Amino acid sequence: MENLSPNMSTPAKVLVVLSSVRDGRHGAKVGQAVMKHLESNPSISAEILDPMTLDAPLLKQPLHFMPDQSAAPSWMTDTLAKIKESAGFVIVSAEYNCTIPPALTNLLDHFPLSAYRHKPASIVTYSMGPFGGVRATVALRPFLSELGMVILPSTVSIPTIQNSGITEEGSTEENERVDKNMKKLCGELAWYVQALETQKTSSDGVPN
Amino acid sequence: MENLSPNMSTPAKVLVVLSSVRDGRHGAKVGQAVMKHLESNPSISAEILDPMTLDAPLLKQPLHFMPDQSAAPSWMTDTLAKIKESAGFVIVSAEYNCTIPPALTNLLDHFPLSAYRHKPASIVTYSMGPFGGVRATVALRPFLSELGMVILPSTVSIPTIQNSGITEEGSTEENERVDKNMKKLCGELAWYVQALETQKTSSDGVPN
Amino acid sequence: MENLSPNMSTPAKVLVVLSSVRDGRHGAKVGQAVMKHLESNPSISAEILDPMTLDAPLLKQPLHFMPDQSAAPSWMTDTLAKIKESAGFVIVSAEYNCTIPPALTNLLDHFPLSAYRHKPASIVTYSMGPFGGVRATVALRPFLSELGMVILPSTVSIPTIQNSGITEEGSTEENERVDKNMKKLCGELAWYVQALETQKTSSDGVPN
Amino acid sequence: MENLSPNMSTPAKVLVVLSSVRDGRHGAKVGQAVMKHLESNPSISAEILDPMTLDAPLLKQPLHFMPDQSAAPSWMTDTLAKIKESAGFVIVSAEYNCTIPPALTNLLDHFPLSAYRHKPASIVTYSMGPFGGVRATVALRPFLSELGMVILPSTVSIPTIQNSGITEEGSTEENERVDKNMKKLCGELAWYVQALETQKTSSDGVPN
C-alpha cells in the first residue's frame, strides 16, 4: 500500500466523526483527543467531521436518491468527497437516552453505503454518568455495520466526562486509563487500515 | 377512571408520533391508519405528532436544561403540553440503516422524562424491504424505555409498505394481516391506558 | 383485585428469576436482596426461580411443542405452573460478554409465551466491572418483550458487585444507592401488578 | 497459506459455528450450505463446530478461569485448539424469541477472548418466520464483538427456512437469492482472512 509501507508517500486519511451538536457538548474535546492520538502516527492523516459545523438539516433526501445530484448543496458533495477519500473512521459518540445522538445518524444517513463499505471503524463513547456511553456502543453496531463499516474490537468508554481530566485541546495525560485505551484504539485502527488498504491494492480487488 | 368507563366524560388522549421527515415518506399514511383504528374506540382521542410539521432543529438544548424556559420557542412548549396531556403513545417508525430515524429521537430528546414516564406505548414499524422495520423496534426499546414509557407486547411490522395496500387516508382494509394486527395493538393500548389511568387515580398515586 | 386491595385475601405472586449457574456466581445474593425488598410489601408473595436448582438441559424441545406434554419432565410442568401463577417478574441478570447469560434464555425459552404475556417485569443487573450490566439490560428488552412481558421503567444496575456490600443474605443496607433503587423498583412492580390484576378482573378481560 | 500468498502452503482454517441443539433444527443444513460455499474456495479449509455434538453443559466455569486447566474436559481443550487454529468464523444462528440461541452463547462463553480476537466473522441467520433472524444478527453484534471478532459487512438472512429449498446436504441451488448471498459472504470472508493473516505475518505483529 502506498500510504503506509516505508516506500509509501502519503498517509492514509481517517475521519473522526462527532455526534453531538448540543450547547456545551463534551464531544469536541474527545474528538481533539482522538486527533492527537491518531496524529502521533505518521502513517495517518486525521480530520474532524463535525455535524455542528456542517449544520445539516434533518434528512429530506439522501444524496444518492436525488434525481439531480449536481443540484445537491456543497456541504453534501464536500462531505461525500471526504468520506470517500477516507480509509477509516473513528466515531466519537455521546449517548442520548440510551441511544445514538440524532445528529450522527442524520449526518451519515445522507450518503451512499458504498462510501463507507469495507472501511475499518473504531468507537469512542463518553457520558456524564457512570456508564461511559456503552449503550450507545451497542446501538451503534447495527447502524455502522449496515453502512458497511468494519467495527474493530477495541473501544474506549469515558464515564463522567466532565471530570475526566481531558482538556479542551484534547490532552489525555491526566487520565491514565483513557490515555492508554486511546493509544491502543488508534494503533489498532492504523493496523487495520494498513491491512485492508494493502489487500485492496494487492489482491484481486475489493469485495462488493 | 373517568375517561374510559361508561360514567366517564372525556376520552383519554393518545399521541401518534411519526418518525420520518423524508420527501416521499410512507409514515404519514401509516400514522393515518393508526388514527383510524384508535378513533374507532370512543374512549380514545388520538392526535398525530409530526416532526415534519414541527420542523424542530437538531437538538441544541433540551427544554428542561434551558436556564429560562419561558424563552423556549412555542413549538417546544406546545409539544410538551401535548405530551403531558397524553395518557399513551403509538410510535410509528421507519427504519433507517437498521436503526431509528433521527427526526424521532431528536424530537423526543427535547423533553423531560417525567412527561413520558409510566405511560404505555405501542410500536408500529414499516419498511420498503422484506423485514418490516423489526430492527427499528429492537433499537426503539431501550430508547423509549429510558424515556420512561412502558412498551406493550403487541407490535405491528409492515414490510414492503409501498405495496401494502394501505391508502393515503389510512385504510388498511386491503391488507388483512395489517388490519387485524392494528386492531389488536390499538385495543391493547386502550386496555393499558385504562389500567394505568385507573390505578393512578385510585391508589396511592403514581410511582416515581 | 382480590390480592392487593384492603379487602383482598391473598398476596400476588412474583417470581424472581436468576440467570447464572456459574460457580461463584453473585446472582444468588442479588436475588436474596430483591426477595427482601419484595417481601417487605404484604401485597406481594415472592419466590426465587433458579436455573441452577432446576438444572435444565440445553433446550431440545419447548414444552408447548412436545407431542405428548404429559410426558414432560416434572421440572418443566412444575416451573410452568409457577410462571402461570405469577402476576409479575423480577429478572436478576448477570452480563456475559455484553449479553444475556445462556442459562436465563434457555430456561425461559422452554415455556409458551402465553404464560408470560401481559405481566409486568423489572430488570436488575450486576457485574464485576464498572458498567453494572447495563448492556445486558439492553439485550434483555427485546427478549423479554417477545415473551410478552411488560418491562417497567425503573431498573437497578449494580457495578463491582463483589465490593457492593450486599450480603449473602441479601442485605443492601450498606449500599445506599442500591438500597434506594431496589426499594423504588419493587414498589413500582407492586403498583403495576395491582394495576394490571385489577384491570384483568374488572374490565372486559385480558387482551390477547 | 499457499492459495492466498505466494509463500503460503496450507489453506486457512474457518470454523462454521452452529447455534441450535433443538430437535428438528434447521441449522445443520444451513451449516452444510455454508461449508459447500466455503469449500469451493481452495484457500479455505472449513469445519463445523456443533454445540449438539459437543453437548457442553451450561457454563459452570470458563476454561481460562479454572484453577487447574489441565483438568478441563477434553471437549473444552479440543474446542479451544480448533478456535485458536482458526483464521475466521461463520456464525450460523437461529433466532429464539428475538435473540441468540443459548447453546451458541454458552459454547463460546467457555473460552478466552484471546482465541477469537482479530479474526473476521460473518453472520448467517435463518428463521421459520418472515424476518429471517435479522434480530438475532442485531443481538449477535455486541456479543461477537466483545469476544473480539471483527464482523464483516455482508450477512445472509434466510426467512421461512422450512420452505427455502436448501437441501439437507446444503445445496442452495434452488434458492437464487440465498445462493448468491452465500457466495458473496464466503468470498468476502476469504478476502478478509487473507488481509488479516497477511498483515499479521508481514507487519510488526498483531495488535493487542
Closest Cα to residue B48, out of B35, B36, B64? B35
B38-88: per-residue pLDDT in tens?
999 999 999 999 999 999 999 999 999 999 999 999 999 999 999 999 999
Backbone angles phi, psi at C18, to 5 degrees: -85, 165
Q: Is the pLDDT of residue C1 over 60?
A: no
Q: Please judge whether D184 and A207 are an interchain contact, meaning their C-beta atoms are less than 8 angstroms apart.
A: yes
Q: Using an 8 Å Cβ cutoff, are D34 and D92 in contact? A: yes
Q: Is the pLDDT of residue A108 over 50?
A: yes
Average pLDDT estimate for B92-98: 98
| pTM: predicted TM-score of the whole model, two decimal places | 0.96
Please report where in the chains the cell 456543497 appears, as a residue: A74
Q: How far apart are CA C25 and CA D61, in angstroms?
A: 10
Q: Which residues pair with B121 in a beta bridge?
A: B89, B151
A141-160: per-residue pLDDT in tens?
999 999 999 999 999 999 99
Write out the residues of chain C at the interface with chain B, using a CB-CB cutoff of 8 A. 117-118, 137-138, 141-142, 145, 148-154, 184, 187-188, 191-192, 194-196, 198-199, 203, 207-208
> In this predicted structure, what is the pLDDT of residue D9?
65
Closest Cα to residue D51, out of D100, D93, D103, D95? D103
More confident call, A3 vs D29? D29
D5-16: per-residue pLDDT in tens?
444 569 999 999
Q: How far apart are CA A184 and CA C117, in angstroms?
A: 46
Q: Which of D61, D99, D127 would you mutate first to test chain C, the one with the most C CBs within 10 A?
A: D99
C147-184: per-residue pLDDT in tens?
999 999 999 999 999 999 999 999 999 999 999 999 99
> In this predicted structure, what is the pLDDT of residue D1?
32
> In this predicted structure, what is the pLDDT of residue A206?
83
Q: How far apart are CA D192 and CA D97, in angstroms?
A: 32
Q: Is the pLDDT of residue A76 over 90?
A: yes
DSSP string, A6-35: TT--SPEEEEEEE----TT-SHHHHHHHHH
Structure-block grid coordinates of residue B152: 406493550
Closest Cα to residue A18, out of A39, A41, A49, A45? A49
Task: Name the percent of chain C lying above pLDDT 70.
Answer: 95
Structure-block grid coordinates of residue B53: 410539521
> In this predicted structure, what is the pLDDT of residue D203?
72
Return the exposure string of A117-132: e unless at least 16 CB atoms fall within 10 Å of the residue's CB, then b.
Answer: bbbbbbbbbbbeeebb
Q: Is the pLDDT of residue C208 over 90?
A: no
Q: How far apart are CA A142 and CA D136, in angstroms?
A: 11
Show residues of chain D in contact with B130, CB under 8 Å: 130-132, 159
> In this predicted structure, what is the pLDDT of residue A52?
97
Q: Which of C154, C199, C206, C208 would you mutate first to test chain B, the one with the most B CBs within 10 A?
A: C199
- Listed as ranges, residues in chain D with pLDDT below 50 are 1-7
D158-207: per-residue pLDDT in tens?
999 999 999 999 999 999 999 999 999 999 999 999 999 999 998 767 88
Closest Cα to residue D138, out of B138, B159, C106? B138
Write out the residues of chain C at the interface with chain A, using a CB-CB cutoff of 8 A. 98, 130-132, 134-135, 138-139, 157, 159
Average pLDDT estimate for C136-156: 98
Q: Is the pLDDT of residue B208 over 50?
A: yes
Instruction: Count interface pairs A-D at CB distance under 8 A.
Output: 71
Write out the residues of chain D at the interface with chain A, using a CB-CB cutoff of 8 A. 117-118, 137-138, 141-142, 145, 148-154, 184, 187-188, 191-192, 194-196, 198-199, 203, 207-208
Which of B61, B102, B145 comes nearest A109 by C-beta?
B102
Q: Is the pLDDT of residue A196 over 80?
A: yes
Show residues of chain C in contact with A98, CB under 8 Å: 138
Q: How far apart are CA D101 and CA B124, in angstroms?
A: 26
> In this predicted structure, what is the pLDDT of residue B5?
47
Q: Which domains does chain B have, with CATH numbers?
A: 12-63+73-202 (3.40.50.360)
Q: How far apart are CA D146 and CA B126, in angstroms?
A: 31
CB contact set of C70 (below 8 Å; sequence gap of 6+) = none
Closest Cα to residue B183, out of C207, D132, D6, A114? C207
Show residues of chain C in contact with A130, CB under 8 Å: 130-132, 159
> In this predicted structure, what is the pLDDT of residue B205?
79
> In this predicted structure, what is the pLDDT of residue C9?
64
Closest residue in A to B103 (Cα–Cα): A58
Quickly state the pLDDT bin for C101 (edges 50, 70, 90).
very high
Structure-block grid coordinates of residue C130: 464498572
Closest Cα to residue C189, out of C146, C157, C158, C149? C149
Quickly state the pLDDT bin for B3 (edges 50, 70, 90).
very low
Q: Please judge whether B51 and A61 are an interchain contact, meaning their C-beta atoms are less than 8 angstroms apart.
A: no
Q: Please judge whether A207 and D191 are an interchain contact, meaning their C-beta atoms are less than 8 angstroms apart.
A: yes
> In this predicted structure, what is the pLDDT of residue C4?
45
How far apart are the CA of C77 and the nearest CA of chain A, in angstroms? 36
Quickly state the pLDDT bin for B127 (edges 50, 70, 90).
very high
Backbone angles phi, psi at B12, to 5 degrees: -80, 140
Average pLDDT estimate for B26-47: 97
